[in-house]
Amino acid sequence: MLTKAYAAQSPTSALAPHTIDRREPGLHDVAIEILFCGVCHSDLHTVRGEWPGVLYPSVVGHEIVGRVTAVGSEVSKVGIGSLVGVGCIVDSCQTCAACARDLEQYCENGFIGTYNGSSLGGTVNTYGGYSTAIVVDEHFVLKIAHEEKDLAAVAPLLCAGITTWSPLRHWNVGPGKKVGVVGIGGLGHMGIKLAHALGAHVVAFTTSPSKGENALALGADEVVVSTDEEQMRSHAASFDFILNTVAASHDLDAFMSLLALDGTMTVVGVPASPHPSPSVAPFIFKRRALAGSVIGGIAETQEMLDFCAEHGITADIETIAMQDIEKAFARMVKSDVKYRFVIDMATLNAD
Ligand code: NAP
Ligand code: ZN
């Protein structure tokens, strides 16, 4: 199926109209008309070639929501007309120990990304949600219980939501826990909302003082401007868990020293250049840990979506036209978005 898309042809070329070929739906496939797609910082890292191994043309976008237009004869999960989502994963081996534990994101044979992923054992590139339609195996399709009017604001849950939900759950964030969220961007603002909804005491860390008041409205109990040393010192050795979503290289020691005994800081940001190596002292004196986490499994993504529908949680978004994507990228680099751009795909259809 010839499908309209926006693609980067090289790390230095702006995104521009492009046509891709989607497969015809197979027995287990779901064909989806894409209605909205969120703009993740990973999209920007990828199209600009900031991470190794990017294949061009590159069509990014892994916060996809839309409506089912066709299903293969073996599909039972959804039907034509259902509202559905697709996140960062469109395939995995489904037989390894990790997949057997519903941890497709840690598939031992490598999961297939919604974009810039080559099919298992093959070399065919995958193309993401900056397009009008996609065809995905039903296992990787998520059901959406939110009302249709909220659909655009649901899109960011497919990456920003699950990438923050998974570590918050894994490290048992809940009532009685003091939790820090570092960086109030697309991921961070979801981290604040979800940690708050899970019952934790949430402290937001930002380099943008103007985001302070807004962070309280998102559900933070306190806000710390991380460049203010005095504010940072007042929280020394007090956190059970810190979720660090910063998209740029920075000093991790400043945050490690805020962890209490046995506390953990989990990084999910993947900056283009590495963080300075952290010092040993903050680790050993309070048995602190530094950890990482990547997106989340499909069952866990469904759990997060259902939790959000139940608790009335969506992302705070600014809707844009596909044609304005480069302006949106430029603002994202300056941390100037509250808190996620979402592309209205009707604008690409009109192109
Ligand atoms: P984003 O919307 O750009 O947010 C990143 C935030 O980091 C900014 O809003 C800013 O928050 C803070 N920040 C930016 N530059 C900084 C600097 N130099 N020093 C300190 N803070 C800085 O990005 P995002 O979409 O949330 O993604 C964040 C990172 O996570 C990206 O690297 C992305 O690729 C990665 N990611 C990882 C996964 C995973 O599975 N692990 C999944 C998705 C995305 P303040 O203005 O509040 O300081
Ligand atoms: Zn993402």
* List of domains in the chain: 2-159+315-349 (3.90.180.10), 161-292 (3.40.50.720)
Residues at CB less than 6 angstroms from ligand 1: 40-42, 45, 159, 163, 183-188, 206-208, 211, 245-248, 250, 268-271, 294-295, 332, 335
Report how far ligand 1's centroid is from the alpha carbon of 240 (Å): 21
Q: Which of 102-106, 191-195, 281-285, 312-316 has the lowest mean pLDDT?
A: 281-285
DSSP labels, 208-233 = -GGGHHHHHHHT-SEEEETT-HHHHH
Go through 210-220 and write b for each residue having 16 or more CB atoms within 10 A of its CB, e for each that does not: ebbebbeebbb
Segment 185-212 mean pLDDT? 96
| Torsional class of 53: left (φ above 0), alpha (ψ -120 to 50), beta (otherwise) | left
Q: Give the pLDDT of residue 121.
A: 57
Segment 314-331 mean pLDDT? 98
- Which three-class secondary structure state does DSSP give residue 304? helix
Q: Give the pLDDT of residue 122.
A: 58
pLDDT at 350 over 90: no
Phi, psi for residue 168 in degrees, rounded to 5: -60, -40
The Cα–Cα gap between 240 and 171 comes to 9
With CA atoms as reference, report the closest residue to 7 among 344, 327, 15. Answer: 15
Tell me the per-residue pLDDT of 220-254, one tens digit each, with 9 for 90 and over.
999 999 999 999 999 999 999 999 999 999 999 99
Q: Which residue among 89, 207, 228 has the greatest number of ligand 1 atoms within 8 angstroms of its CB, and so is best to mutate? A: 207
pLDDT at 123 over 70: no
Tell me the per-residue pLDDT of 69-115, one tens digit each, with 9 for 90 and over.
999 999 999 999 999 999 999 999 999 999 999 999 999 999 999 99
Report how far ligand 1's centroid is from the alpha carbon of 99 (Å): 28
Go through 324-338 and write b for each residue having 16 or more CB atoms within 10 A of its CB, e for each that does not: ebeebbebbeebebb
What mean pLDDT, rounded, does the chain reach? 96
Ligand 1 atom index nearest CA of 270:
32
Q: Give the pLDDT of residue 329.
A: 98
The Cα–Cα gap between 29 and 25 comes to 5
Ligand 1 atom index nearest CA of 207:
48
Tell me the per-residue pLDDT of 200-224, one tens digit each, with 9 for 90 and over.
999 999 999 999 889 999 999 999 9
Q: Give the pLDDT of residue 219.
A: 98
What percent of the chain clears pLDDT 90, i.e. is strictly above it? 96
DSSP labels, 313-333 = ----EEEEEGGGHHHHHHHHH
pLDDT confidence band for 118 (50 / 70 / 90): confident
Structural Rg of the chain based on CA atoms = 20
pLDDT confidence band for 349 (50 / 70 / 90): confident
Ligand 1 atom index nearest CA of 247:
32
pLDDT confidence band for 351 (50 / 70 / 90): confident
